[in-house]
Amino acid sequence: MSAPLPRQPLSAAPPSPPASPSWLWATLLALCLGFIISQAFRTVAAMMAVPLQQSLGLTASQLGLFAGTFHLAFGALQIFMGVGIDLYGIRRTLLCAWPLTLAGALISALAPGYGWLLLGQALVGAGCAPAFLVCTVFIARQFPAARFASLSGLVMGLGGVGLLLTGSPLAWLIEQSSWRVGFGVLGAGSALAYLAVWIWVREPLENAPRSGDSVLQALRGVGQLLRLPHTAGILALASVNYAAFITLRGLWLGPMLMDRHGYSLVQSGHVALAVSVVGLFGPPLFGRLTVQGAQRRRWIVAFTWALAALFGLCAWSPWAGLTVVTSLLIGFGCGFIILQYADVRAAYAPEHTGRAMALYTMAMFLGIALMQWVTGWSATWAQAHGWEVYQAVNLTVLLMLLVGALLFRVLPAPALR
């Protein structure tokens, strides 16, 4: 874990510029670079799975734990990152956490065994923890509330560039060199993202931390959010929707295409690239939907059911073409999770935005860690009992989606703002 955040800036930053449109967009783009790198790191397992199994002799359950470790560390630190943003600001929080990404990438690239690989993934996940959170908090603070969903969708779409990097480009790089070089290249990208934040990100004076705040008071504020009756349903669905997409795209898509349909690593990379490309368009388009309040929540449940149906189709797909088409639909359709961000934005008071977003993001990524571990366990169980592995994996995802949607539907709803 990183050292405590200092009260003083990490560098002698110049006075805050006025919130001109050019400054707003330059800052948001600099923050997006970190999010792009974090998206790449969280999906490396899809292309590295088979090379890692061959190099280190990993089982399916070990592979699931490898993929989930990033998300476990990422999700577990969301609350602390939200508190850091509220108390110390976006810039200082990001600059303090991000060096862990560089260290984790280096350890992963040089890992002599499975334990070191897990340590590297944990450090990368911890360093990337504020990557998307700083973007959403910046949008919530600097742009009108009516633009939150569309701009968050735009940022999530831009983050999809990281998924493009871990499709065909990463597959080609691994095939030409090794998975270790892949981690090295991502580490170099992390250094560039850190430099961009150091140079361009400055926060307005109105976002300066209040001197009376303390970490303990901020953590108590998180506890208050957890005690609100509508929080449970929000977190239940948050833990499965994005997890379903990342579990497919970030872990099982490559192995499924290679083992079930005989694709090569590069051919699987092409499919992963296509899934990532269509995924770029989902969040911005769903973010433009004008649904609000209870209607928006009904749409969220309906989209979750449709997503579960696609995983059911993928579980019994006998043809490579059907698996590819279903994966493309999942990649695009998961863009509806941007509506959940808007739902969270409307469910809590403005002064709790940082912590509410952190709590939601924590549930998302702890959910990814859980789903990847559970699907790894179900794959191992299926192998031991004569089931088709990827049928068990997809049905596990389907079941978790249905449970999350049910809890979101039946638990208390917020009085939306």
Reported as a single tens digit per residue, the pLDDT across 382-415 is 989 889 999 999 999 999 999 999 999 999 988 7
- pLDDT value at residue 13: 40
pLDDT higher than threshold 90 for residue 74: no
Q: Is residue 204 part of a domain?
A: no
Percentage of residues in the chain having pLDDT higher than 70: 91
Is 318 among the domain residues?
A: yes
CATH of residue 225: 1.20.1250.20
Domain for residue 205, yes or no?
no
Structural domain count of the chain: 1
Going by pLDDT thresholds of 50, 70 and 90, the confidence category of residue 206 is very low
Higher pLDDT, 214 or 153: 153
Evaluate whether residue 400 is within a structural domain.
yes
Mean pLDDT on 39-53: 84
Range of the domain at 64: 21-199+214-410
pLDDT per residue as tens digits for the range 173-202: 988 988 999 999 999 999 999 999 998 888
Decide if 322 is inside a domain.
Answer: yes
Q: Report yes or no on 57 lying in a domain.
A: yes
pLDDT higher at 376 or 220: 376
SS3 letters for the chain?
CCCCCCCCCCCCCCCCCCCCHHHHHHHHHHHHHHHHHHHHHHCCHHHHHHHHHHHHCCCHHHHHHHHHHHHHHHHHCHHHHHHHHHHHCHHHHHHHHCHHHHHHHHHHHHCCCHHHHHHHHHHHHHHHCCHHHHHHHHHHHHCCHHHHHHHHHHHHHHHHHHHHHCCHHHHHHHHHCCHHHHHHHHHHHHHHHHHHHHHHCCCCHHHCCCCCCCHHHHHHHHHHHHHCCCHHHHHHHHCCHHHHHHHHHHHHHHHHHHHHHCCCHHHHHHHHHHHHHHHHHHHHHHHCCCCCHHHHHHHHHHHHHHHHHHHHHHHCCCCHHHHHHHHHHHHHHHHHHHHHHHHHHHHCCHHHHHHHHHHHHHHHHHHHHHHHHHHHHHHHHHHHCCCCHHHHHHHHHHHHHHHHHHHHHHCCCCCCC
pLDDT of residue 16: 44
Q: What is the pLDDT averaged over residues 346-375?
A: 83
Please report which confidence band the pLDDT of residue 101 belongs to, taking 50, 70 and 90 as the band edges. very high
Q: What are 124-178's pLDDT values in tens digits?
A: 999 999 998 899 888 888 888 778 777 877 887 788 888 888 888 888 998 898 8
Instruction: Write down the mean pLDDT value for the chain.
Output: 85
